[in-house]
A and B are shown apart, each in its own frame.
Chain A
Amino acid sequence: MQRKNLSFLLANPLAGVFVALLIIFVLSALLSPYFLTSYNMSVVARSLAFVGLVTIGQSMLLILGELDLSLGVIGGLCGVIAGMLMMNFGVNPWVAIFLGLVAGAALGCFNGIMVTQLGLHSLVLTIGTAGIYGGINLVLTKGVAITNIPKEIQFLGRGDVLGVPVPFVVMIVVLAIAAFVTLKTPFGRYLYAIGDNTAAATMLGIKVNRVRILVFTAAGTLAALAGLLMVSRLGTAQPSIGDTWVLPPIAASVIGGVATTGGVGTPVGAILGAAIIAIIENIIVLFGVSPYWQGVVSGVIVVLAISFDAISRRYIRRED
């Protein structure tokens, strides 16, 4: 019985990525005396928070069998929109943030509507919309940052709650909601059903297109949230916000056990994957290695993770 429980634990799809995270965490702590300092921990947590919010949305899209390459630029564009509303039009900062979120929802929703109503491939469509959204960003800002974001909202990006950075708290709350939705609600079950077999999901009477549009909208909103938190963290609305949020969330999802073909994985796994990437990026900085190596390292992790997954899957199949 005891053995059975243990093997059940190991069979949990999250076990592998969790153990990997633990090993990397311990190794980092052993290798660098600075790693565990509270300052460094809050740096890691904060950087994980921004990418993490995008990762949660992207992982839900991947489970659905879709992909949105415009999430990064949605984050940047919405930050810029909110910044301009505050600074150029004198809108109340809180209202501006709300409108920024609405913009993110609208942009994500647009992607979803195009994908479902025209039957476009989401990868191809969002390459296009990423160009459009990013272009609008540059047209609006002419590439220049909007500075002097009001102090009253800066705590969203810079503040702490009991020593934990606010963006990280926000990310954890969003993750909890996402985990509940995917695992415990009918909507979540529909997500997996559609991602696994769209035709069968239709035959079961699931409103496939509505679910798809909703998840695109949610992912856009989360990307905007990440962008807005970043604006309040920096105190300026940089047009370049979100440039680095395109591939890492996909890589994190894959490391965390989300299948790019849909139907498999959880947002929690994806965040564990994002944490692995965040720690490795951090340790590279701590060691003073050229940041140019970051791409190589996170690429190697992705390749390792999917190879490991493929091999273990073959093993499991043989067992069955």
Chain B
Amino acid sequence: MAFLEVEGLGRDFPGVRALDNVSLKLELGRVHILAGENGAGKSTLVKLITGSDPTPSRGHIIIDGKDVAEDPTKFRFIAYVPQELSLFPHLSVAENLFIPYDRADFTGRLINERTLEREAQVYLDRFAITAKPSALVRSISVPDQQLLQIARASTNKHMKVLILDEPTSSLTTTEVERVFNVIKSFRDTGHAIVFISHKMGEVLEIGDDFTVLRNGEKVADGKIDDITERDLIRAMSGSELSFEEHFRPTPPAEPQSGPPILEARNLTGLRFHDVSFELRRGEILGFAGLLGAGRSEVMQTIFGYRKAKSGTVLLQNQPHKLGDTNYSVNHGLLYLSEERKLHGILPQLSVRENIGISILKQTLARFGISSRKERTLVEQIIAAYDIKTASMNKKISFLSGGNQQKAIIGRAMATAPSVLIFDEPTKGIDVRTKAEIYKIMKRLAESGVGIILISSEMDELRKCASRIVTMYAGRQTGAFDNATTSNETLIGAIFGSGSHSNAA
């Protein structure tokens, strides 16, 4: 009898089916691997089984023999350690361990610091954390912080299931060993562990059982001993990936002549090293990698939003000045950020003002900005990019994500750029609008605009890109011709399993 059992679980968000018909069985004393690409539905599932999202759309979660819909107190058995460090940097190690105090059975009104630190030492010893209980968390090492997060989750006296979301993503091999020892000791004391990781080696080493999610559905499960690395990767990426409809630009009729539109040579910056690539006329160049592989950092550095440490960039064979977004925009190099809300829209301004900000050169008349010209031009852009809005005077934050994205693309195109970098352009966007955005990219590429597409969805890259550059942990691991490369090769390069290249 499994301690935690999930059956037919589904979760819908407006316009998106994030999770559908997922089943999962966790048994005490075993380590369960939860695998899947970014956006496969792992976090949605974790939120449901930890109770932080208490409203599944369908299905049941049964913990300790009872449906949590009837008995939500069963969630107390579940402890979750998120991927990002979520400690209080200015509080001490001991305080971080036991906050909130009532959970850790510190029920008194006053907190005695000495007691707290004595209790903390017990946990620190168990987890082999070398830091002192009184040390401030911001002053201890990253591995210690990572372990402290796990220790904190385990101060939950009821814990039976421990969910670890990529606990090793910022650790070196010896430090990973420390985490594994902790996992093993929990396993041997009768806990169920859920281990989420993108690192195949670790998964195969520590796992007992596995479940693979893809596009919100369970696509495989079983025992780790019965599966190979290759099969696991294939299950995650989906070998039956449909190529029926693709949006790859048709290569120009005459062979390539002249220099590339954009070229990066040995570019190094914060969180990436020695990246070189060229973007040719008429192609969509894809960038594949895991979250944090450094793709956005590379592009933001080329665009001038981040500082470069070394290396050069050539735009139309001319040296490109780095570190100045104004220069990039004036020279036709535009970057459309993944963070639409943070870096894209001007939320309190209208659709007209949001688009108008990029066409001021065209709307400026003798007596300032001409409202008439602006309205006409914005109207044209709204029509050309099929932006659905009741009125151009509506605040842009009231538009759907897809229409905001189309407004941002329309605004960028109004400046007639020569290079357009799309960073996750379809994040949070429904399928139909996705296809519209793919078509726009294809049209632009064929009309001679250089397009770079960063995407975490392999499917998207395979559908749109002419060539794909892969990155892993801040380094370039390959450059591939999309039409002639297998999924396995690409996924391998994304997961850093060696340096390949079949088309430089």
Which residues on A are within 8 Å of B, measured CB to CB? 180, 183-186, 189-190, 192-193, 196-197, 199-207, 259, 263-264, 320
Contact check, A189 vs B353: say whether CB atoms are below 8 A apart. yes
Complex contact B326–A207 (CB within 8 A): yes
9 CB-based A-B contacts, threshold 8 Å:
A185-B368, A189-B357, A200-B344, A203-B303, A204-B325, A205-B326, A205-B329, A206-B326, A259-B348
Within 8 A of A (CB), among B335-359: 335, 337, 342-349, 353, 356-358
- In the bound complex, residues from chain A placing their C-beta under 8 Å from that of B369 are 184-186, 189
Determine if A200 and B345 form an interchain contact, defined as CB atoms under 8 angstroms apart: yes
Question: B504 contacts the other chain (Cβ, under 8 Å)?
Answer: no
Specify the chain A residue showing the minimal Cβ separation from B415.
Answer: A205
* Beta-carbon contact of A204 and B357 below 8 Å: yes
A263/B357 contact (C-beta < 8 A), A186-B364, A203-B343 known: no
B327, B346, B349, B353 — most chain A CB neighbours (10 Å):
B346
Chain B minimum-CB-distance residue to A203: B343
Cα of A103 to Cα of B348 in the assembled complex, Å: 35
Q: Which of chain A's residues have a CB closer than 8 A to the CB of B344?
A: 200, 203
Contact present for A203 and B349 (CB under 8 Å): no
Known contacts being A184-B369, A189-B353, A205-B326, is A196 close to B343, with CB within 8 Å?
Answer: no
| B325 CB contact (under 8 Å) in A197, A202, A264 | A202
Kindly state the separation between the CA atoms of A207 and B358 in the bound complex, as whole angstroms.
Answer: 13
Cα of A49 to Cα of B367 in the assembled complex, Å = 27
| Residues of A contacting B349 in the complex (Cβ-Cβ under 8 angstroms) | 192-193, 196, 263
Give, as a whole number of angstroms, the nearest-CB distance from A258 to chain B: 12
Q: Is the CB of B305 within 8 A of A196?
A: no
Q: A197 and B345 in contact (CB under 8 A), knowing A184-B367, A185-B369, A186-B369? A: yes
Further 19 A-B residue pairs, CB within 8 A, beyond A192-B353, A200-B344? A184-B368, A186-B360, A189-B356, A189-B360, A189-B369, A190-B357, A192-B349, A196-B346, A197-B347, A199-B343, A200-B342, A200-B346, A202-B325, A203-B325, A203-B337, A203-B343, A204-B325, A204-B329, A320-B398
A-B contacts at CB below 8 angstroms, number: 69
- In the complex formed, the residue of A with least CB distance to B371 is A184
Q: A185 CA to B357 CA in the complex, in Å? A: 11
- Which residues B125-149 have CB closer than 8 A to chain A? none
Residues of B within 8 A of A259 (CB): 348
In the complex, which residues of chain B have a beta carbon less than 8 angstroms from the beta carbon of A206? Answer: 326
What is the minimal beta-carbon distance from B375 to any residue of chain A, in angstroms? 14
Report if B477 contacts A (CB, 8 A): no
A204 touches B358 (CB 8 A): yes
Q: Which residue of A lies closest to B356 (CB)?
A: A189
Expressed in whole angstroms, the minimum distance between the Cβ of B330 and any Cβ of chain A is 7
Count of chain B residues with Cβ under 8 Å from any Cβ of A?
30
B296 cross-chain contacts in A, Cβ below 8 A: none
Does any Cβ of A come within 8 Å of B426's Cβ?
no
**Cα distance, A192 to B353, chains bound together (Å):** 9
A79, chain B: closest CB distance, angstroms? 33
Name A196's closest neighbour in chain B (CB-CB). B346
Residues of B within 8 A of A263 (CB): 346, 348-349
Interface residue B328 (Cβ < 8 Å from any Cβ of A): yes
- Cβ–Cβ contact B348 & A264, under 8 A: yes
Q: How far is the CB of A202 from chain B (nearest CB, A)?
A: 5
Q: Which residues of A contact B356 (CB under 8 A)?
A: 189
Chain B nearest CB from A224 CB (Å) reads: 27
Residues in A whose Cβ lies below 8 Å from that of B345:
197, 200
Chain B residues whose C-beta falls within 8 Å of the C-beta of A192 in the assembled complex? 346, 349, 353
CA distance A204 to B358 in the complex (A): 8
Contacts of A193 in B (CB 8 A): 346, 349, 357
A189 to B140, CA, bound (A): 46
Partner of B305, one of A184, A189, A202, A207: A202
- Chain A CB within 10 Å, residue with most, of B326, B329, B335, B356: B326
Do A205 and B328 touch (CB < 8 A)?
A: yes
A13 CB → nearest B CB, Å: 11
Chain B residues, Cβ within 8 Å of A264? 348
Q: How far is the CA of A264 from the CA of B350 in the complex (A)?
A: 11
Q: Which residues of A contact B368 (CB under 8 A)?
A: 180, 183-185
The 7 A-B pairs of least Cβ separation, nearest first, read A184-B368, A205-B329, A186-B360, A196-B346, A205-B326, A263-B348, A199-B343
Chain B residues with Cβ below 8 Å from A185 are 364, 368-369
The smallest beta-carbon distance between B408 and chain A, in angstroms, is 9
Cα of A248 to Cα of B404 in the assembled complex, Å: 38
In the complex, A266→B349 CA distance in Å?
13
Smallest beta-carbon distance B344→chain A, Å: 6
Q: How far is the CA of A193 from the CA of B329 in the complex (A)?
A: 16
CB distance from A2 to the nearest CB of B (A): 18
User: Nearest residue in B to A184 (C-beta to C-beta)?
Assistant: B368
Q: Within the complex, what minimum Cβ distance (angstroms) separates B360 from chain A?
A: 4
CB distance from A197 to the nearest CB of B (A): 5
Taken together as a complex, chains A and B put the C-alpha atoms of A204 and B367 apart, in Å, by 24
Q: Which residues of the other chain, A, contact B346 by a CB distance below 8 angstroms?
A: 192-193, 196-197, 200-201, 263
**A196 near B325: Cβ-Cβ < 8 Å:** no
* Bound form: Cα–Cα A190–B342 in Å: 17
Q: Which residue of B lies closest to A201 (CB)?
A: B346
Cβ-neighbour of A199 out of B326, B342, B367 (below 8 A) = B342
Query: Is the CB–CB distance between A196 and B364 below 8 Å?
Result: no
A130 to chain B, nearest CB (A): 29
**Could you tell me the distance in whole angstroms from the C-beta of B462 to the nearest C-beta in chain A?**
28
Which of A184, A193, A205, A264: most chain B Cβ within 10 A? A205
In whole angstroms, what is the CA distance A189 to B330 when docked? Answer: 17
B403 to chain A, nearest CB (A): 14
* Residues of the A chain whose Cβ atoms lie less than 8 Å from the Cβ of B394: 320
B residues 308-346 in Cβ contact with A at 8 Å: 325-330, 335, 337, 342-346
In the bound assembly, the distance between CA atoms of A263 and B353 in angstroms comes to 12
Inside 8 A of B329's CB, which chain A residues have their CB?
204-205
Chain A positions within 8 Å of B357 at CB level: 189-190, 193, 204
CB-based contact B347/A203 at 8 Å: no
Knowing A185-B369, A189-B369, A207-B326 touch, does A200 contact B348 (C-beta < 8 A)?
no
B325 CB to nearest chain A CB (Å): 5
Chain B residues whose C-beta falls within 8 Å of the C-beta of A180 in the assembled complex: 368
- In the complex, which residue of chain A has the Cβ closest to the Cβ of B328? A205
For the complex, give the distance between the alpha carbons of A85 and B327 in Å.
44
Q: How far is B358's CA from A183's CA once the two chains are assembled, in angstroms? A: 16
Report yes or no: B360 in contact with A200, Cβ–Cβ below 8 A: no
Binary interface encoding of chain B residues 272-304 relative to chain A, with 1 for a CB under 8 A from any of its CBs, else 0:
000000000000000000000000000000010
> What does the 1/0 interface line of B354-389 toward A look like (CB < 8 Å)?
001110100010011100000000000000000000
Complex CA gap A219/B158 in Å reads 60
CB-CB under 8 A from B327, the residues of chain A are 205
B325 touches A205 (CB 8 A): yes
A189 to B344 Cα, complex, angstroms: 16
Residues in chain B near residue A203, CB distance under 8 A: 303, 305, 325, 335, 337, 343-344
Complex Cα distance A186/B368, Å? 8
Give Cα distance in the complex from A186 to B337, angstroms: 23
